Each structure stands twice: as C-alpha cells, then as structure tokens.
Structure 1
C-alpha cells in the first residue's frame, strides 16, 4: 500500500454540558484529524485527541511533528497489508506521542481495510463482534437525582464517576439512586484513584454489592486493591494501572475487568495484547473513549468490536456531550447499542481547520 496523499485538520468543539472533572470544568474539546489517501482515491481516517485537550500552541507543535511524517514516512514507504503488525511496523522508528500514534495507526488501518474491501474490525480480528451495548455515563453524582429510566431506551449498564466530591456526599447520592434503580441494571463506579483505603471501605460499606459490577481504580495505591476486595467483596477494574504497570504474569484476585483507552495506550498492538491476556484470564475487556469526537469514537468502536469481551458494555457513551461533530452524519449510539460498519466517513469541514 502506498499513501499518495496525507493531511491534518484541527478541530475545536464545545461540550454541552461542560465536563466536570475533580479540579476543573472542561468546556471544549480540541484535537486533530488525520486523512490518508491512496492513488485510487480511497481514504483512511484517524483522530489525534490528547486528553485533557491541548491548547492551540500544543496543537501547532503537533503540526510540526506531523510534517516530517508526510515527507519522511508516507511518501517513501510501501505499507504491508498482510497483518496489523506488518502494517504498523514502519511507525516504530518514530518518536510519537501516544495520541498521535494511535491516530495515525487508525488512519492506516481504515485505509488498509478499504483497499482490502473489508471492515476495519475484520482487518483487526477474524471474528469481530457485530454489535455491542454501550454504558450510560454519569460524570457527577449530583446528576443522579435527575436521572430517569426509560422503557423505550432500556439501559443495561450505568457508569458513575465518583471521587470528585466529598465521599459522604457521593455515597448518600448513590444510595438514593440505588433505591430506585431497576435490579437488572448493573452499576460501574469509577473513582480515578481518588481515595485512601479507609475512605473506600467507608464508601462501600452498606451498599448493595450485588448491583455493583465493579469499581474502577478506587485507590491511590494499586498494591492495596486486593486487600480492599477481600475486606469489602466489591470487585475492581484496572484503568490507570494498565498505563503504569508492566504486563502481568497473573491477574490478581478481585480483578473483574480491564478498561482499555486506546488514546492513552497509544498503540493498537498494545491494546490487543492487553485484551487477549485479559480474556485468556477470564476478565472482561472494556474499550472506552476519552471524549474523542465522533471519528475517534468510531475507531475506538472498531477496536471494541475486534478485541472487546462479548456481552459487555463498552465505554462509548460520551458522544452526547458534543454539540457538534467532526463527521457527518455524527456518531450516534441508539438504544444504548452500537454496531460498527463500513459506512463511508464524511468529514464535517464546517468545524475543521486545515493548516497550510
């Protein structure tokens, strides 16, 4: 495969409502899109979306990193389509940030799939999931009081961010929510390493554990997770731990799931390795976004289809924060379910800036 055309576009999209994190309020998302083209006009697309969003100066530095790729890599390389490893090997000589590497890799994979006449998910795996459920996301426990369940749009899994406010306040809000939450709805909690062990034990005490699928990264110290599980009976999931630890020989007791964020992991082969290891160890594999735009969400969905666990809700419920999108039609999850396809991508040039 020869790449005969390549371009980078910047985007800036408002978030509505703004995204509340522990110490800040994010009102917009910035990033870039990659477009690669072959001599027959077939295109592949990727998204470079560091999180939190970079400022404009950082994006301009990204452009300076991109330009050597145009001249030193794409225009001089014949890419091997025989496997994912062969396709991505030419990138290994380059010092790329994780978000840029995964964006360029996604563009190469979608172009390779178009050339081979298959879907990107089928290029990555022999038996990708045709569809999967998507969890609902609640980023602030104070929003739980207004949450309404709908029979027309049944939800199977709700992910609730905790650790952003005082733990007693969050625990009280969660308990009130669980009182009216249907028993068939599974709850995932995500604390982003916010608590000390005594806070986590106090938070989890008295909560109906049968409705909690797991809690992501409750503790600041990963080494204390097994002890917390033994004391509380609440399973946990790795998220940040995947980024900071070496590849494990064995998975510890109480680990229910591995949450993989391709933008942070920065390499499809690394995503695949973690996913295959976790599934071999009978742990759930959850692919999740970091508030990419619709194009990035499509590419995360491709990896979820290829390597995610069957019958598992994926973390792609962030599209509803975007008032606009980088693609037309925009990325939409219908009835908390998504089916990756091979539909053509049309870029929304109204929100894109193509630097010289």
Structure 2
C-alpha cells in the first residue's frame, strides 16, 4: 500500500528530500510547505499541493508520513502537530534543542501511538552495524571521531539562522559538532552505547571560529562516560586536506575504523579500509514500520537522547562564544578560510584523546567544562 508523504521545509536541504522521494517506490509525495516561495528546482510533481503554513497542510491533506526539514529550533512544535494529526514523522537532524524538548516529544509519541524516525541516515548503513557489533564484542578503551571539511562564506549566508545562536530572540542550533558534523558525533555515541558506556558524566570542549559568526566552525570535545570510557571529537569546517569523517574504536580486540560518509570499514586485524555495501533508507524503514510494527525503527527518537544531551550542553546560553582565530594562522584559499596546521592538530587530538590546549597548541585556549 502506498504511503502519502508531505514535506515541511521544501527549500534548502528540503530539495534533497524532494529528489529522494521522487526515486522511492511505495510512497507518494502529496504536499509541500514552506514559509518562503517554494523553489521549482527540482520540478514540482503534477498535482502537488503547496502551502505556506504547516497547519493548513496537515488539515487539508492528512498525510500518512510527514518529513520535517525546517530549522532545528522549529522542530518540536511542527513534529507535535504532525503526530497529533495522525502522521508518522521523519525528523531531520539535529532533532531537538534540549532534553526537555526530547521528553516533550517522547510524551506525544506515547500519547498518539505514532512513530518518529530521526534523519541520522548513516546509522542505516551495514558498515555502521558491523562497527557497533565490534564495539559490543570487546572491552572498548576509547572512541574518537575526526573530520576535516571546508565551508565558504556563502554557507553562513544560506539561512537567517546559519552561524547564529539566536534569531529574533529565539535560540537556534548551529555549529560544526551539532549540525554539519552531527553524524560524526551520533555515530560515536552509538558506538559508545554498543560498548555499554553508560550515560555521559563529563564534557570538556574547545570551540573556535575563523569568521565573525556566533558558533564554532572548529571544535574539540571530550566526553567521559559513567563506565570510564572516553570519547573525543575533533572536527573542522576550516580544514586543509579533506578527511571525510572517521570513527575510531580502540579496544581489547584491536582497532576498528569506520569512514561513515562512504561506508568504508576496517575491523580489528584488517590492514586497510574496505567498502561495505548496504544502507537501509530511513524513510523506507519508517514506512515498513508503519505497515508492520514488528519491523524496528533504525533511528527512533529514543536512540538520539544522548546526542540531544550533548547538543544542549554545547549550545546552552551560558557557553561562551567560540574563540576567534585570525591573522597569519588563517589562510584564505579560493574563498575558503583554512587554519594552518589544523589537520595535524585534529589527528593528534583523536589519537591521544587530548584537547589542543593540553597538546600545547599555541593558539588553543583552556576548555569549557559543560555541566
């Protein structure tokens, strides 16, 4: 049976969802909503209904599934409205801003009996599942994630909330760790959960920026779990050589490495990364779960609670602005700002679990200890 789907947030990254929906079987896109005029690229399907208000969309079309691809600070009310309208929800990452919002949405899920899948699509890969199995099958000593990407000034002009901590007095969510590289954090947290790490007990973070934004484009975070396991994230959007995104699990059986964007994996004993075929699409999984609740969701909202806890700690109002880097340290290459020597710092941090200030990096500042 075909599931009717509505997309709320049809521009920006919503265009990716529109293309993806056009390629899937078993679903039919019936409506789009956006507060801005809806982009005609990709072309709109015949008969599609357009709305400027998600309430009107829900009332008029009553879709089976709603994909929410709006700014993160709008997720909670839209998701609650969609669930109460009788729809299941695919909620883009980062899902929610605070643990209080997480609990609120979990309560609505219990009230309505509906389902919410979160768009951490890398968790649908077979390679990720193999990494988590490897973590569960040994005593894990540490986990690290490292990524080096580049973003230009246009990236921070793509939306009013980009690079901002608040818009019109409303808190927003952005920053390297919690938005573009949120998958690296979520994959690492999932590996820690598989290893039985327990809850996060301490979080130390160093955050930096290379332009006059209010969030980090370079960040280092170290999480300590109740069981003693430590997880270090070292990421940048002002990188030198590209590092797609690696999750490294060190344990008694050896080292496992997942390059999560490409699904390349090296398990203990392997000498090199190898491609692992197979990803389960999260929307297809949600539709299958609708048809048969015995089919488990791959990324139910409950699985993302630890990520939301980290996000809340990193974006709390009392957290200071990231340290601004400049001068000869920052080079502009083809419109992209690059921190000289940053890739070596990222690698050292991931290998040693030490933050830049602990490594004696000259431009580093002492970490902020999150509650």
TM-score, normalised with respect to structure 2: 0.28
Q: Which has the higher contact order (CA 8 A, sep 6+)?
A: 1
Q: Which has the larger share of strand?
A: 2
Q: Which has the larger share of helix?
A: 1
TM-score, normalised with respect to structure 1: 0.29
